[in-house]
């Protein structure tokens, strides 16, 4: 049977080479080929079917996810897949499960914080999955406040042991993924106590957290350990495939050499030692690594929602303003639909490119750390924390908007959007609450501004070197066309970020107690951090355009996306640009007018730009976002695939409807 492409006319409008854009989106021809192979491996295998997931009750859902993970492991071994291929295989299975934490946090924690000897011992076991590990940091009473963790690890010199203990209810480990049911091991964070003393690197800290390696043997908890799942989470399916757990210790003994010993050590005699100038912040290194990974991945999440909403918008017709009866307008041709959808499309590309850059930054930092060069750690921390926060918040808001952009059908589970929202929304909280992370960025920016004159700002904060120019020279834009120049846009974002940072730094200086000032001004500080992070995203997009980008029309299409992203932000945050005095109201309104022109230039490319994401229908898992656009018959069919439609008479009908119809309610 011939397949009809309902989006063919839209595809024919494309003004660029879609295959070349696929390479740009994937990162390289090799990455495209790798992702394509893994996506199709998953899509074509019945073991990875996922449409029924939201209908399953928790125990069935969880068993199903264990089955998929085991099957994936078998494929990795049978096909001899590399770690990179296995990573993409897990990604396309599209189901949060214990291997995410095992590979994504447990192994990196040992790699980053273990001594050479410990790595040699534990990494092969972990990589062969002879043990399964999780990352047990958060406690019931302490998530953001890592220094406040209450679990104790007390050194017993007599027996050469640490005694791990949960002294209070609030010290219960709470949330770690993979902990509740599956893991055999955990990296556990606890306060170190040696000879009655808490140990910290800096004088003003009473204590800080250490990592210990703990064995949850044979799958019944060891004596003294209580373990379980934290309970059902938001959304059907969604994150409920993960066994986020709780864990309590009652004076559990582990050998001294199970403390991760790269950052600091406790000797046989009970002497606490900091290792060769290694900063204590390295203990937080796993979080830096995962925040980078989240940024690298989140653009795909947003691209998925945008792909669904764009395809449906290019198919569904609504009435025109002149005739309320004849449906003629495609939803995508409404200016208001474009002004909500196209900035999200542009954001997906922007986040992809900033994610690539962050991966480069992180790789560089990792190499430096291995060579005991810690100089770029503060920038890596600020950039990973800030971009994780910015991109996950925008993505989750974007998915919700995409749901609304599809009208009522977006709200159906079969659109793929509700589950995508539910599974993505915790990303605003895990790996650091997004507000708390932005406050870390603000601390970094304010510190950089305060140090001007005696410390050279580097990397993402190097714009602060030109503080004088940025504070005193206002925007030169005179026409709408002036707004579509990369250096002009970057300068506008630099000036806004610099001016906001300086104002906040000056306000902070008025407080006698800096911590009190920081607390009182925290809402403004978050805005400073947002401005700094948006500058990073915009400037990395502009830098991308300066590269050689092959393919007919590809660079031009990306230029439009870049300016849409930037001018949308200028419009949305015009208050910042106006209050800081950098823009005049006329220049702000020119930016908005230019944005409308850019939307009309983006319009013919919209479907091709989402096709370039190269998502399979399996990955999208959306009736309204299907590649062939054959939505309505499938939407109708999907309704009848719902087990609720198995019978015309639902359970309870005879019991509760008949008495109403027969007026026999008194018998109930
Ligand atoms: C691929 C995997 C799939 C994803 C699954 C995700 C599953 C989820 C897992 C988790 O959620 S794991 C738990 C994550 N928890 C957090 O992220 C907690 C958030 N809180 C923190 O990170 C920290 O507590 C804090 C908010 C950064 C504050 O820490 P603290 O109060 O101890 O420090 P400060 O006094 O504010 O700062 C001291 C100093 O240290 C610098 N710094 C802080 N963090 C880092 C870091 N990660 N790396 C490097 N440096 C760091 C900070 O900037 C300060 O520097 P100075 O100002 O003194 O120079
Ligand atoms: C799905 C999921 C998976 C997770 N997986 C893991 C895991 O594998 N391992 C692990 O250890 N943990 C895990 N966590 C825990 C996660 O890291 C914490 O939830 C997160 O760090 C936030 O901590 P909290 O929940 O205690 O929130 P809180 O810190 O209590 O934050 C609550 C509110 O207070 C605000 N707030 C807190 N501190 C400040 C401050 N200093 N200044 C201003 N505002 C503040 C926040 O902005 C937020 O609005 C997971 C969580 C979820 C939801």
pLDDT at position 157, please? Answer: 95
Q: Is the CB of 398 under 6 A from ligand 2?
A: no
Q: Is the CB of 381 under 6 A from ligand 1?
A: yes
pLDDT at position 318, please? Answer: 85
pLDDT digits (tens, 9 = 90+) for 639-661: 999 999 999 999 999 999 999 99
Q: Is the CB of 625 under 6 A from ligand 2?
A: no
Confidence of residue 324 (pLDDT cuts 50, 70, 90): low
Q: How far is the CA of 45 from the centre of ligand 1 (A)?
A: 40
Annotated binding-site members for FAD: 138, 177
Identify which of 433, 522, 527 to mutate to test ligand 2's pocket (most ligand atoms within 8 A of the CB).
433
Which of 99-108, 192-201, 205-214 is predicted with the least confidence, judged by mean pLDDT?
205-214
| Bigger pLDDT: 278 vs 362 | 362
Confidence of residue 221 (pLDDT cuts 50, 70, 90): confident
Q: Is the CB of 284 under 6 A from ligand 1?
A: yes
Confidence of residue 203 (pLDDT cuts 50, 70, 90): very low
Q: Which atom of ligand 2 is nearest to the CA of 144?
A: 29
**Res 200 pLDDT > 80:** no
Region at 352 (left for phi over 0; alpha for psi -120 to 50; beta for the rest): alpha
Identify which of 97, 436, 522 to mutate to test ligand 2's pocket (most ligand atoms within 8 A of the CB).
436
pLDDT at position 31, please? Answer: 97
**Res 611 pLDDT > 60:** yes
Residue 193: count of CB within 10 angstroms of its CB: 19
Work out the average pLDDT over 383-400: 98
The three state secondary structure string of 466-535 is: HHHHHHHCCCCCCCHHHHCCHHHHHHHHHHHHHHHHHHHHHHHHCCCCHHHHHHHCHHHHHHHHHHHHHH
Work out the average pLDDT over 544-564: 98
Q: Which atom of ligand 2 is nearest to the CA of 96?
A: 1
**Res 613 pLDDT > 70:** yes
Q: Is the CB of 426 under 6 A from ligand 2?
A: yes
Percent of the chain with pLDDT over 70: 95
pLDDT at position 532, please? Answer: 98
> 431 catalytic, yes or no?
yes
Q: How far is the CA of 215 from the centre of ligand 2 (A)?
A: 25
Region at 432 (left for phi over 0; alpha for psi -120 to 50; beta for the rest): left
Q: Which atom of ligand 2 is nearest to the CA of 137?
A: 11
Q: How far is the CA of 84 from the centre of ligand 2 (A)?
A: 29
Helix, strand, coil in percent for the chain, rounding step 5: 60, 10, 30
Q: Which atom of ligand 1 is nearest to the CA of 137?
A: 13
Q: Is the CB of 298 under 6 A from ligand 1?
A: no
Q: How is residue 174 annotated by DSSP?
A: E
Burial class, 130, CB count within 10 angstroms (exposed 0-12 / middle 13-18 / buried 19+): exposed
Looking at the whole model, is its pTM more than 0.80? yes
- Active-site position among 139, 379, 431, 494: 431
| Bigger pLDDT: 322 vs 491 | 491
Identify which of 98, 107, 108, 144 to mutate to test ligand 2's pocket (most ligand atoms within 8 A of the CB).
144
Confidence of residue 275 (pLDDT cuts 50, 70, 90): confident
pLDDT at position 212, please? Answer: 61
Work out the average pLDDT over 464-475: 96
Q: Is the CB of 48 under 6 A from ligand 1?
A: no
Q: Is the CB of 86 under 6 A from ligand 2?
A: no
> Is the four-CA dihedral 532, 534, 535, 539 of positive or negative sign?
positive
Given the cut 0.85, state whether the ipTM is greater than it: yes
pLDDT at position 507, please? Answer: 97
| Residues 25-40 as b or e (16 or more Cβ within 10 Å = b) | bbbeeeebebbeebbe
Q: Is the CB of 175 under 6 A from ligand 2?
A: yes
The ligand with the least distance to the CA atom of 388 is 1
Q: How far is the CA of 284 from the centre of ligand 1 (A)?
A: 6
pLDDT at position 427, please? Answer: 98
pLDDT digits (tens, 9 = 90+) for 423-447: 999 999 999 999 999 999 999 999 9
Q: How far is the CA of 609 from the centre of ligand 1 (A)?
A: 36
């Amino acid at each position: 049977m011939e397949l009809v492409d309902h989006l063919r006319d839209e595809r024919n409008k494309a003004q660029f080479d879609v295959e070349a854009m696929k390479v740009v989106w994937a990162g390289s021809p090799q990455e495209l080929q790798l992702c394509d192979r893994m996506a199709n491996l998953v899509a074509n295998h019945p073991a990875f079917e996922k449409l029924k997931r939201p209908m399953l009750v928790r125990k069935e859902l969880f068993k199903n996810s264990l089955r998929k993970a085991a099957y994936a492991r078998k494929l990795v071994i049978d096909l001899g897949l590399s770690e990179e291929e296995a990573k993409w295989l897990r990604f396309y299975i599209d189901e949060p499960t214990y291997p995410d934490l095992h590979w994504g946090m447990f192994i990196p924690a040992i790699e980053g914080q273990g001594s050479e000897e410990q790595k040699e011992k534990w990494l092969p076991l972990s990589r062969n999955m002879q043990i399964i590990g999780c990352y047990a940091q958060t406690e019931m009473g302490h998530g953001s406040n890592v220094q406040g963790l209450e679990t104790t690890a007390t050194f017993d010199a007599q027996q050469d042991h640490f005694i791990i203990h949960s002294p209070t209810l609030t010290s219960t480990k709470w949330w770690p993924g993979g902990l509740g049911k599956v893991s055999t091991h955990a990296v556990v964070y606890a306060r170190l106590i040696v000879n009655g003393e808490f140990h910290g690197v800096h004088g003003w800290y009473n204590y800080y957290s250490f990592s210990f390696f703990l064995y949850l043997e044979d799958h019944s908890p060891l004596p003294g350990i209580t373990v379980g799942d934290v309970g059902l989470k938001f959304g059907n399916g969604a994150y409920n495939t993960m066994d986020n757990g709780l864990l309590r210790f009652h004076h559990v003994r582990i050998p001294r050499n199970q403390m991760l010993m790269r950052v600091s050590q406790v000797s046989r005699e009970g002497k606490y030692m900091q290792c060769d100038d290694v900063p204590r912040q390295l203990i937080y290194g796993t979080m830096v690594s995962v925040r980078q990974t989240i940024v690298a991945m989140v653009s795909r999440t947003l691209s998925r929602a945008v792909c669904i909403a764009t395809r449906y918008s290019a198919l569904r017709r609504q009435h025109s303003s002149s005739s309320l009866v004849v449906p003629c307008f495609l939803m995508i041709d409404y200016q208001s639909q474009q002004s909500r959808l196209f900035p999200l499309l542009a954001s997906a590309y922007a986040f992809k490119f900033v994610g690539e850059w962050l991966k480069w930054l992180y790789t560089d930092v990792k190499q430096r750390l291995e060579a005991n060069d810690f100089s770029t750690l503060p920038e890596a921390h600020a950039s990973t924390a800030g971009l994780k926060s910015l991109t996950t918040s925008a993505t989750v808001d974007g998915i919700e908007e995409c749901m609304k952009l599809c009208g009522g059908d977006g709200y159906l589970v079969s659109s793929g959007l509700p589950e995508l929202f539910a599974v993505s929304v915790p990303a605003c909280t895990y790996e650091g609450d997004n507000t708390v992370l932005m406050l870390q960025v603000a601390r970094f920016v304010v510190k950089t501004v305060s140090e001007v004159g005696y410390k050279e700002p580097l990397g993402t904060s190097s714009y602060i070197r030109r503080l004088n120019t940025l504070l005193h020279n206002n925007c030169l834009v005179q026409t709408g066309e002036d707004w579509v120049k990369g250096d002009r846009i970057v300068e506008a974002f630099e000036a806004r970020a610099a001016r906001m940072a300086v104002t906040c730094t000056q306000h902070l200086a008025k407080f006698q107690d800096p911590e009190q000032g920081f607390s009182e001004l925290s809402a403004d500080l978050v805005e400073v951090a947002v401005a700094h992070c948006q500058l990073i995203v915009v400037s990395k997009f502009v830098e991308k355009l300066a590269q050689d980008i092959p393919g007919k029309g590809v660079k031009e299409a990306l230029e439009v996306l870049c300016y849409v992203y930037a001018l949308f932000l200028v419009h949305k945050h015009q208050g910042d640009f106006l209050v800081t005095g950098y823009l005049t109201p006329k220049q702000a309104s020119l930016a908005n007018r230019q944005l409308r022109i850019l939307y009309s230039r983006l319009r013919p490319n919209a479907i091709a730009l989402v096709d370039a994401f190269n998502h399979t229908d399996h990955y999208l898992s959306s009736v309204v976002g299907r590649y062939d656009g054959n939505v309505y018959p499938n939407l109708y069919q999907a309704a009848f695939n719902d087990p609720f439609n198995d019978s015309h008479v639902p359970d309870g009908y005879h019991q509760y409807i008949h008495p109403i119809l027969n007026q026999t309610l008194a018998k109930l």
